Amino acid sequence: MIMPTPHGDKLKALLQNEKLPNSDRTRIDKALERYHNWIEALRCLPKGNSGIAEAVRLLNDYRLFLDLDVVFDSEDDFLYRQKGQLKLDSTVIEEFLPHLVSLAFPDISKSFSIGPHSCFAALYFTSTIRTSIRSPGAQVRTKNQDFTISKRLYLRASFHPDRAEKVDTLEANLGYLCAECKTNLDKTMFQE
């Protein structure tokens, strides 16, 4: 299973950020090195329940390093002030969850997609009395999720029972477990 790398991507992007103080560049370089070691250690863990406790310990060690050694101990306050924008802390969890699930359920990726996806949120129809002679105008509304255990869903909608003509064909991921990995939840997130 190919694992998503949102945290690694954020660290690499941060090194390209012109606003990053020079004094913090070595911290981010060190964080990137520690990140690669963390991911490699997660990949080497035994599958099944025996690897879960060690995975959580590795997560806690990495987060403590990131929060204290990289952000809090920085002489500049750029990393601390921009913590919400940089999303370094929330992407750690976002990247960890697929590893955790694959340890607990080694064969799950054979049947499900694991990781960030846009998932089914609602089905609605855009047809009106005037336009109902065509297709029903079926539309799917989706929501981006930071972590999902999901499966691809295929839908067909028609006014004809055999669905032979004027058919709306839709695709979406159906999320069985969806998680938003956020440090702060915006009030608009509660509306969805």
DSSP readout, 104-163?
HSTTGGGTSEEEEEEEEEEEEE---TTTTTS---EEEEEEEEEEEEEEEEEEEE-SSTT-
Inter-residue contact 138 to 110 (CB < 8 Å)? no
Tens of each residue's pLDDT in the chain, 192 residues = 789 999 999 999 999 999 999 999 999 999 999 999 999 999 999 998 889 999 999 999 999 999 999 999 999 889 988 887 888 889 999 999 999 999 999 999 899 999 999 999 999 999 888 876 778 999 999 999 999 999 999 999 998 888 778 899 999 999 999 999 987 666 666 665
- In degrees and rounded to multiples of 5, residue 31 shows phi and psi of -65, -40
Classify 149 in phi/psi space as left (phi over 0), alpha (psi -120 to 50) or beta: beta
Considering the entire predicted model, what is its pTM? 0.85
The SS3 of residue 171 is strand
What is the Cα–Cα distance from 79 to 84, expressed in whole angstroms? 9
Residue 188: per-residue pLDDT: 65
What is the Cα–Cα distance from 124 to 132, expressed in whole angstroms? 14
Residue 134: per-residue pLDDT: 78
Rounded to a whole number, what is the distance in angstroms from the first to the last CA of the chain?
30
Residue 56: per-residue pLDDT: 97
Residue 22: per-residue pLDDT: 92
Q: Which residues contact 62 (CB under 8 A, 6 or more apart)?
A: 34, 35, 38, 92
Return the domain boundaries, the chain.
6-109, 113-191
Residue 68: per-residue pLDDT: 95
Residue 191: per-residue pLDDT: 60
CA separation (Å) from 168 to 37, 130, 137, 138, 154? 48, 17, 7, 6, 11
User: What CA dihedral angle connects 38, 109, 173 and 99, to 10 degrees?
Assistant: -20
